[in-house]
Amino acid sequence: MNREYHKWFSSTLNKEMELLVFGNSGTPVLVFPTSRGKFYEYEDREMITTLTDKYENGELQAFCVDSIDAESWYNYDAHPSERPLRHIDYDEYITNEVVPFIKSKNPSEELIVHGCSFGGFHAVNFALRHPSLVTGCISLGGSFDIKPFVFGYYDDNCYYNCPPDFLPNLEDEEFLRLYRERIKFILGTGENDMCLIANVQLSQIMENKNIPHWLDIWRDGSGHDWQWWQAMIIKYLG
């Protein structure tokens, strides 16, 4: 399997950022790590080897990025007002640096964003904020409410990065059209997942906004961990 390591200095984040690429061609999948996770986490957790054939046969190509959660939502040493600002920097890094890099490696018109746990937040939030860039969104065990990270503080930067808050009030017809016609949303979760309620709530919001999506609740004792996410990704990408 083709495996590439890349690192460059991000002018957006003012630091060096790393990522891994798996596969040569196929549908590109932008993979966000879990909370404070690293770019190599997805590989270490055997999510790549779970679908080895897809990557070797040119059906999928994964781009596994690093996180800066420790500088944004999880930076408890910073004032809550500063945490979403650093996340916005990260959003701009993904939009203006990573997505063009993906396009330079893969000419596909598709782009799936994907993540597990807090990576699911990143995937869903990115898809909702940038629907013209995304054609699929797969969240596994995602959690989508950022209010617990800001301890009662709230401003527009928080609001517009909190899908359970901004999506119910969104009336932009072009965004809604893209959600409805362009993006395939998958919310995978388990009956024992600690984030189950978050997924049910987001599904209800999407239903109210007439946004097609698939809320898939696994009824086999599935919880919030990698062994279940390995099985789920086979179902959604295999």
User: Alpha-carbon torsion 40, 13, 124, 118, what sign?
Assistant: positive
* Residue range 200-206: mean pLDDT, rounded: 98
**What is the rounded distance in angstroms from the CA atom of residue 78 to the CA atom of residue 68?**
14
Average pLDDT of the chain?
Answer: 98
Distances (CA, A) of 43 to 33, 68, 224, 229: 10, 18, 18, 13
| CATH classification for the domain delimited by 3-237, as one of 3.40.50.1820, 3.40.50.2000, 2.40.50.180, 3.40.50.800 | 3.40.50.1820
Query: For residues 4 and 220, which has the higher predicted lDDT (pLDDT)?
Result: 4
Cα 6 from chain centroid (whole Å): 20
- Cβ-contact 216, 186 below 8 angstroms: yes
DSSP 224: S
Please write the tens of the pLDDT for every residue from 93-137.
999 999 999 999 999 999 999 999 999 999 999 999 999 999 999
Query: What pLDDT does residue 112 have?
Result: 98
- Cβ-contact 214, 35 below 8 angstroms: no
Count of CB atoms within 10 A of residue 172's CB?
A: 10
Identity of residue 219? R
Please write the tens of the pLDDT for every residue from 135-170.
999 999 999 999 999 999 999 999 999 999 999 999
**What is the rounded distance in angstroms from the CA atom of residue 147 to the CA atom of residue 80?**
10
Angle made by CA atoms 200, 204, 207, in degrees to the nearest 5: 135
Please write the tens of the pLDDT for every residue from 48-72.
999 999 999 999 999 999 999 999 9
- Burial of residue 14 (CB within 10 Å: 0-12, 13-18, 19+) is exposed
